[in-house]
């Protein structure tokens, strides 16, 4: 694939390009959320009665919500305010969950957040922990600073080919922290009659954290390598078990390197058909009550309003035997954020992540004993909070849960 010069410049979220749209805020306060102590009314437009902006709810300062961040960006763009440490704290404390964008389409809140991080990055105003993560990605090609040859340890006994039309992209978290999810993905694909290939150490981090911490140059470098490696492998379809990697390829890569020469698919998009095909035989597992957490990257403004991946996970769960499925109150595009924030908020303020993950686990426990999610980063954040706060809800990867219900 020949990468066009200037593609990244066209796709880069630049403050200069969106500064005029920052003037559109009418001060309606809808982005605060509906109900609660922060609004004078409880029937916020297009929202649910108790939803709140996660940063406003946690930090309890108006500077940390979308309306103020649009104002600060406008002042910076028009040279009326200089970048400083306080602005760094404000913009890097946002998980970019995307609900404010959904509530208020005229104002590109998430683009404003990312553009301001680019400007802060240029001035060296990036938190040390985000800087350290980007350094690991640049030098070691993964989030954890481990030699990238260790990426494929989970697949040592899987005998996965390097060439093939269907390629599995495991991502950093499944490769190092959640290997059972990667193994479940391969097991289900093979049981369904598919033969996935795998890049092993030629797979590099997708670059999500770089893009959401203002380093688009690093994200593009990683994108170029990954796309070229996938082309060499003969991939026609690339399948993901990580919602974050999927979102990066689906939304960011075309802006950074141009149209992709392969189809991008998340596992939940093929699971219902695999289960329906009859090739997967179910075992008689113990009856269990489950609920489902939708990751932010499955909708809102991350992958577009016309491409939301909410139904597929539910179709999958409902096809499983001996499973009683109950919804939580906040689901789909109103799903509460786990607080991970593309590893930006979780690395810079882990207490923020802990607060929101614990809150989400408590909500899940009200309706079920098992909390399923198709996002490996959400699995980690939610499970840590559930154990720490003794919530009593078991957090599971959706893929692992499905695999355990299928005959070997």
What pLDDT digit, counting tens, does each position of 26-61 carry?
777 777 776 444 444 444 444 444 678 899 889 988
| 112 within domain boundaries | yes
| 2 within domain boundaries | no
217 and 350 assigned to the same domain:
no
Model pTM score: 0.92
Question: Residue 189's pLDDT is what?
Answer: 96
Q: What tokens appear for 2 in the block? A: 């020949």
375 and 280 assigned to the same domain:
yes
How many C-beta neighbours within 10 Å does residue 192 have?
17
48 and 157 assigned to the same domain:
no
How many C-beta neighbours within 10 Å does residue 392 have?
12
The span from the CA of 233 to the CA of 198, in Å, is: 9
265 and 308 assigned to the same domain:
no
The span from the CA of 213 to the CA of 114, in Å, is: 7
| 381 within domain boundaries | yes
| 240 within domain boundaries | yes
Dihedral, 382, 189, 173, 169 alpha carbons, nearest 10: -140
257 and 339 assigned to the same domain:
no
Question: Residue 346's pLDDT is what?
Answer: 85
294 and 265 assigned to the same domain:
no
165 and 175 assigned to the same domain:
yes
DSSP 284: -
Q: Can you give the C-alpha Rg of the chain in angstroms?
A: 21
Range of the domain at 110: 7-122
| 217 within domain boundaries | yes
Of the three residues 274, 289, 305, the one that is the final residue of a domain is 274
Q: Which residues of the chain have pLDDT under 70?
A: 1-12, 34-50, 301-306
Handedness of CA 182, 396, 373, 92 (dihedral sign): negative
Question: Residue 44's pLDDT is what?
Answer: 43
Of the three residues 274, 289, 306, the one that is the final residue of a domain is 274
Residue (of 133, 92, 130, 138) closest to 114 by Cα position: 92
| 85 within domain boundaries | yes
100 and 142 assigned to the same domain:
no
259 and 327 assigned to the same domain:
no
Of the three residues 122, 153, 188, the one that is the final residue of a domain is 122
Question: Residue 10's pLDDT is what?
Answer: 44
| 33 within domain boundaries | yes
137 and 270 assigned to the same domain:
yes
Question: Residue 57's pLDDT is what?
Answer: 87
Question: Residue 338's pLDDT is what?
Answer: 93
What's the total number of domains in the chain?
Answer: 3
253 and 288 assigned to the same domain:
no
Question: Residue 280's pLDDT is what?
Answer: 86
CATH at 393:
3.40.50
Task: Give the orientation angle of helix 109-122 with respect to helix 85-92, to 10 degrees.
Answer: 140
Residue (of 311, 289, 303, 293) closest to 378 by Cα position: 293
Question: Residue 34's pLDDT is what?
Answer: 62
| 187 within domain boundaries | yes
Question: Residue 93's pLDDT is what?
Answer: 92
370 and 258 assigned to the same domain:
no
CATH at 166:
3.40.50.1860
Q: What tokens appear for 77 in the block? A: 């763009």
């Amino acid at each position: 694939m020949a990468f066009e010069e200037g593609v990244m410049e066209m796709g880069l979220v630049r403050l200069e390009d969106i500064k005029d749209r920052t003037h559109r805020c009418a001060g309606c306060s809808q982005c605060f959320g509906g109900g609660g102590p922060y609004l004078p009314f409880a029937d916020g437009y297009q929202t649910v009665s108790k939803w709140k902006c996660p940063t406003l709810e946690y930090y309890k300062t108006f500077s940390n919500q979308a309306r103020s961040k649009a104002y600060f960006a406008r002042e910076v763009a028009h040279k009326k305010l200089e970048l400083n440490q306080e602005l760094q704290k404000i913009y890097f404390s946002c998980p970019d969950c995307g609900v404010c964008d959904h509530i208020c389409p005229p104002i590109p809140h998430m683009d404003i957040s990312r553009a301001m991080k680019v400007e802060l990055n240029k001035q060296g105003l990036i938190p040390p922990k985000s800087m350290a993560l980007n350094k690991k990605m640049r030098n070691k090609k993964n989030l954890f600073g481990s030699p990238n040859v260790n990426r494929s340890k989970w697949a040592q006994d899987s005998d996965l080919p390097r060439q093939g039309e269907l390629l599995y992209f495991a991502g950093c978290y499944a490769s190092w922290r959640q290997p059972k999810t990667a193994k479940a993905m391969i097991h289900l694909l093979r049981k369904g009659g598919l033969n996935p290939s795998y890049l092993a150490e030629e797979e590099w981090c997708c670059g999500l954290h770089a893009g959401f911490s203002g380093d688009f140059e690093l994200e593009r470098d990683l994108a170029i390598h990954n796309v070229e490696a996938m082309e060499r492998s003969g991939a026609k379809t690339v399948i993901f078990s990580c919602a974050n990697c999927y979102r990066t390829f689906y939304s960011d890569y075309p802006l950074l390197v141009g149209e992709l020469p392969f189809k991008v698919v998340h596992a939940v998009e093929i699971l219902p058909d695999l289960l329906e095909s009859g090739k997967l035989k179910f075992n008689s597992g113990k009856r269990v009550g489950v609920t489902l957490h939708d990751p932010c990257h499955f909708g809102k403004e991350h992958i577009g309003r016309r491409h939301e991946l909410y139904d597929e996970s539910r179709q999958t769960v409902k096809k499983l035997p001996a499973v009683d499925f109950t919804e939580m109150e906040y689901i789909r595009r109103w799903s509460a954020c786990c607080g991970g924030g593309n590893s930006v908020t979780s690395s810079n303020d882990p207490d923020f992540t802990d607060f929101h993950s614990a809150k989400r686990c408590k909500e899940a426990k009200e309706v079920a004993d098992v909390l399923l999610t198709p996002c490996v980063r959400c699995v980690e954040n939610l499970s840590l909070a559930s154990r720490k706060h003794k919530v009593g809800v078991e957090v599971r990867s959706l893929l692992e849960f499905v695999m355990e219900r299928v005959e070997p």
